[in-house]
Amino acid sequence: MPAGPAIPRARIAVLRPLDVRAVRLGTAGALGAWQERNADATIPHCVAQLEASGVLDNFRRVVGESDAEYRGFVFADSDLYKVIEAVAWEIARSGTRRWDTWLDDVIGLVARVQDATGYVMTWIQGVRPEKRFAELEWTHEMYILGHMIQAAVALDRAAGRDDLLRIARRFADLIDSRFGPEGQKGVCGHPEIETALVELYRHTGERRYLTLAQRMIDLRGTGLLPVGRLGARYFQDHAPVREATTAVGHAVRQLYLNCGVTDLYLETGEPALMKAQLAQWVNAHKRKQYITGAFGSRHRDEAFGDDYELPSDRAYAETCASIADLHWSWRILLATGDARYADTIERELYNAIAASVDATGTRFFYSNPLQLRPDRYDEENAPRERAEWYACACCPPNVARLIAQLSSYTAALGDDELRICQYTDCDIELPQHVGDGVVHVRSTYPASGVVDITLNGRLAPGFRLALRVPRWSNGATSDDGRMPADADGFVRLQPGHAAPPVAGDQRPEPAGQADEQWRWRVEFDVKPRWTRAHPRVDAVRGCVALERGPVVYCVEQADLPPGVDLDDVAADPSVAPSERTGVRIPGSADAVPAPPVLEVAGELMEPENELYRAAADDVDPDADADAAGASHTDDAMAARRATRRLTVSAIPFGSWGNRTSGAMRVWLPAARYPLHDLDPGDVKPDTTD
């Protein structure tokens, strides 16, 4: 079986994952450089924080090896398992032996904590033993087991060591004996066990784990959980999964549950499961996803809001929610083969997830708002600046394990083709049944939209390459002209239709050239573009956002001249943004070309002193009657007069907050009176650079 985080057994999926070791991300690309930083900084930081935060002492105290008090939330054990999973995928990526002794120590510690029944959960064992399986809605016992299983499977697939897998199976067997078909009915308040049990079935071939996962999924939404003040929707216990067509409640719980439901479909092929999942995916992504790829508009219950409830400044936008959705979208991509799900993964990676970690790889956002006001104060899990760790530290190790496994999401196999799903500098080794050789992808994407692909070797008869055409790009172009995508969002390439070597290309030939070589150069349109939100997104009505390729941009207070408040800056979308080259983006890797700084035509609007005023004051006195009447319903910002032209610098959202903790915003008000309509006497000249 290939090594990877999700490897379906059944032949139901349209696409199948490659072995994570078959794809090597190069450090000349953004994703490969991110993996290097993850290996060099983020994983070591997470390992150190497990000690500093008390997670490991929580295990030691259960077996009398520490007299420290329990620290952290009841689910703190899961932090250890996520870090182990990150280490496992880093072993698969690089073959490192750096963590061998550490793995011996921590897995040995977990083994000593496991009791005779197979149970392992330090808060229950060391603090409240009477709560064992007594409050499934809150104790997270099965959630913790889910992360243990994922770590154990990853470690066995990546390094061939099964010591944690044996521990995980004993715990899973205990859950099966108690909550399986012959046991009591029970579901965990925080989904995660479902997707993990399906993967345990895939890895071991033991069908009882799949049966247990299906039982828990079937029981969800039947009212088993005493939901209390937060309500059934918070726990996704309001409707059976086959009837749950809208994304509701705690965002991470919903999205982890969806991973399990889609995994179950990939093994059983039950149409009702996929029908509900596809409907819910549309609801989540067409009505509840931020432009940055984030989810969760409410702080109180870390939850999805109503349709189109997407405030920028109050966005909760938890890092774990974007990561969970990436896992879910990958599974639906496998199930359907539709490129739109890879588009979503791309948006999440380069924006919400990229912003969650700083340039050093050691400080993190838990919450990722799209606007930070100048006087914003720190809140629980939502500080103004990234933090080294959190009391609820689910996000940092989640980032570490995701980035370590990025190779898994780069390409996939169809029945007769290799599909490239994400663009980055990489080498893809062809599986034996696909052909013989290596596909080399060379690109500085997303800084550039140019992607060079070289096939060194032979494809098996009937096989071809397929490339995702992002929806934000107006198709793809090659030396032969425009390349429109097929209905599934991919364009097909076949040897014999390759472009000749690019003139003036002085790069060396890829190593290991086989007896055939085919080259393609494709280009996607990464020209900057203005974007507006659906009119029902009241929070940003009358505003515009700036995008370039898959990258969302923002403006920081740090880039404005002294005395200019970001809240008083408007953008003129009638003027095309320009690219400013030769400027290093804060937070970008030195050796990797970054998307450029964009220069935006802006206006400094005169300050307002009144919180509210008569709407009639907004009417342009020179407008005719029809225009005056329309001004009251115009989606643009209130009629504030421009006092000065500005050239505003915008940087990728994923890089914000690496200089100061000052104000930031993604959505800028669109100027009501464009500059070209203003009397020159009303506008002061721009004196900024």
Residues with catalytic function: 302, 394
DSSP state of 596: P
375 in helix, strand or coil? coil
**Alpha carbon distance 5, 331 (integer Å):** 11
- The residue type found at 166 is R
Give Cβ neighbours of residue 516 (< 8 Å, ≥ 6 apart).
437, 455, 456, 457, 458, 495
Token look-up 């390729």 returns 549
| Whole-number Å distance between alpha carbons of 155 and 165 | 8
Query: Element (H or E) spanning 403, and its range?
Result: helix 395-404
Question: How far apart are the C-alpha atoms of 143 and 189, rounded to whole Å?
Answer: 8
Closest listed residue to residue 148, CA positions, set 175, 129, 130: 175
Q: Is the distance from CB of 601 to CB of 572 less than 8 angstroms?
A: yes
Q: Token digits for 49?
A: 């924080």
CA distance to 313, 555, 561, 605, per residue, from 662 (Å): 13, 11, 13, 20
492 backbone dihedrals φ, ψ, rounded to 5°: -95, 140
555 contacts 545 by C-beta, under 8 angstroms: no
Give the amino acid at 343. D
C-alpha–C-alpha distance, residues 648 and 629, integer Å:
32
Residues contacting residue 534 through CB under 8 Å, at least 6 positions apart: 308
Q: How would you class 626 by CB atoms within 10 Å of its CB: exposed for 0-12, middle for 13-18, buried for 19 or more?
A: exposed
Q: H-helix or E-strand containing 520?
A: strand 517-524
**Contact yes or no for 241/263 (Cβ under 8 A):** no
Indicate the DSSP class of residue 313.
Answer: T
E strand or H helix that includes residue 274: helix 271-287
Residues 239 and 35: their CA atoms lie apart, in Å, by 39
Q: Other CB atoms closer than 10 Å to residue 112's CB: what's the count?
A: 14
Q: Point out which residues pair with 367 in neighbouring strands.
A: 318
In this structure, the chain runs to a length of 689
- For residue 87, which amino acid is it? V
Among residues 515, 531, 424, 514, which one has the least CA distance to residue 468?
Answer: 424
Q: Two tokens at 503?
A: 């003139």
Q: How many CB atoms lie within 10 A of CB 605?
A: 23
Tokens of 306: 């109503």
Q: Are 399 and 319 in contact (CB under 8 A)?
A: yes
3-state helix, strand, coil in the chain (%, to 5): 40, 15, 45
Report the C-alpha gap between 17 and 409 in whole angstroms.
8
Q: How far apart are CA 662 and CA 646, in angstroms?
A: 19
CA distance 130 to 659: 49
Instruction: Give me the numbers of helices (H) and strands (E) for the chain, helices first please.
Output: 18, 22
Q: Cα separation of 188 and 140, whole Å?
A: 7
